[in-house]
């Protein structure tokens, strides 16, 4: 179901958005955005829209009250660690913390997703399958454009964009120094696309199973919970190894980029983190 994929963006969105008004506005608009996207992917009827809106609102209120303070504590720790110096092991630990933060969110989402899944019709599941295929084609075009040179340029653009999100604009010399390291990164785009396709197939299979077997609400919730908790790790050992190799190389590149950041860029990162923490604190108190 689109809701599974869309709800999964909630944590990432909160951690990624920055800038005082942007974080607050973006977070407050998330329920509207999730409802709109789910309807776009599934073409919900009126009863399903009401059900989804109610569940999303409940999730959003719980998340704002209980999870945002956890994120604020985490980002304060990241800020302090950056002051002391960061290595690849630190970045790996941060990722583990983010993954741990996904578990309570997945647990909380599962009942609502199961409830909606039990109402889906075959045409809606087919519509979702088509939309997921379309989005995968778009992702493939971005990650894997035709030709080796085009793929190298796309990878370089992604790395620079990510670095500039955290550090502000990179200088020409910094970009030149980045290029050999980016060129040396493992090519894992095919693995990411394959993992996306496998996950989408599992979503459709799960929804068809729920529609066919008509399990009880508790059983449907269990199935949805298992799926949500599984999405952070590839079920294919070879693909998982390839992805992990890419992540490890990316961590090393992040450490190198941080080490070469100018004082102004470090100030940008500090402002970004502390501004986001202030926004999370404000949101959690509402």
Domain regions of the chain by residue span: 2-284
pLDDT score, position 178:
93
Which residue, among 3, 50, 51, 70, has the nearest Cα to 30 in the 3D structure?
3
Q: How far apart are CA 41 and CA 129, in angstroms?
A: 9
Cβ neighbours around 169 below 10 Å, total: 12
Lowest mean pLDDT among 30-34, 41-45, 140-144, 148-152: 30-34
Q: What pLDDT is stored for residue 67 in this prediction?
A: 92
- Inform me whether the pLDDT recorded for 11 exceeds 60: no
pLDDT in tens, 120-174: 999 999 999 999 999 999 999 999 999 999 999 999 999 999 999 999 999 999 9
CA atoms within 13 A on the CB side of 167: 25
- Calpha distance 224→8 (Å, rounded): 13
Of 238, 261, 243, 111, the C-alpha closest to 173 is 261
Segment 220-239 mean pLDDT = 93
Residue indicated by tokens 């090393």: 252
Q: How far apart are CA 90 and CA 158, in angstroms?
A: 22
Reference 187, options 242, 252, 257, 146; nearest CA is 242
11 vs 144, which has greater pLDDT?
144
d(CA 182, CA 154): 11
State the pTM of this model.
0.87
Place of tokens 């999370």: 280
Average pLDDT over residues 86-100: 88
User: What's the pLDDT score for residue 23?
Assistant: 55
pLDDT at 5: 35
């Amino acid at each position: 179901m689109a809701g599974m994929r869309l709800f999964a963006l909630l944590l990432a969105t909160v951690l990624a958005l920055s800038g005082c008004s942007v974080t607050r506005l973006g977070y407050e608009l998330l329920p509207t955005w999730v409802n709109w996207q789910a309807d776009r992917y599934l073409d919900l009827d009126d009863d399903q829209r009401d059900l989804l809106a109610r569940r999303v609102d409940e999730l959003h209120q719980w998340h704002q009250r209980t999870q945002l303070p956890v994120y604020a504590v985490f980002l304060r720790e990241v800020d302090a660690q950056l002051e002391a110096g960061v290595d690849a092991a630190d970045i790996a630990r941060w990722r583990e913390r983010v993954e741990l933060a996904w578990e309570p969110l997945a647990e909380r989402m599962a009942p609502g997703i199961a409830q909606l899944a039990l109402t889906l019709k075959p045409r809606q599941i087919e519509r979702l399958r088509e939309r997921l295929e379309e989005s995968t084609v778009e992702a493939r075009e971005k990650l894997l454009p035709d030709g080796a040179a085009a793929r190298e340029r796309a990878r370089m653009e992604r790395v620079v964009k990510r670095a500039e999100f955290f550090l502000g604009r990179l200088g020409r010399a910094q970009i030149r120094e980045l290029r050999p390291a980016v060129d040396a990164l493992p090519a894992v785009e095919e693995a990411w696309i394959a993992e996306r396709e496998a996950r989408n197939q599992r979503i459709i299979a799960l929804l068809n199973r729920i529609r066919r077997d008509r399990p009880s609400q508790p059983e449907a919730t269990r199935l949805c919970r298992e799926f949500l908790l599984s999405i952070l790790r590839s079920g294919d050992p070879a693909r998982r190894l390839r992805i992990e190799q890419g992540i490890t190389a990316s961590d090393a590149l992040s450490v190198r980029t941080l080490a070469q950041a100018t004082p102004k860029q470090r100030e940008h990162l500090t402002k970004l983190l502390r501004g986001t923490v202030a926004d999370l604190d404000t949101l959690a108190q509402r």
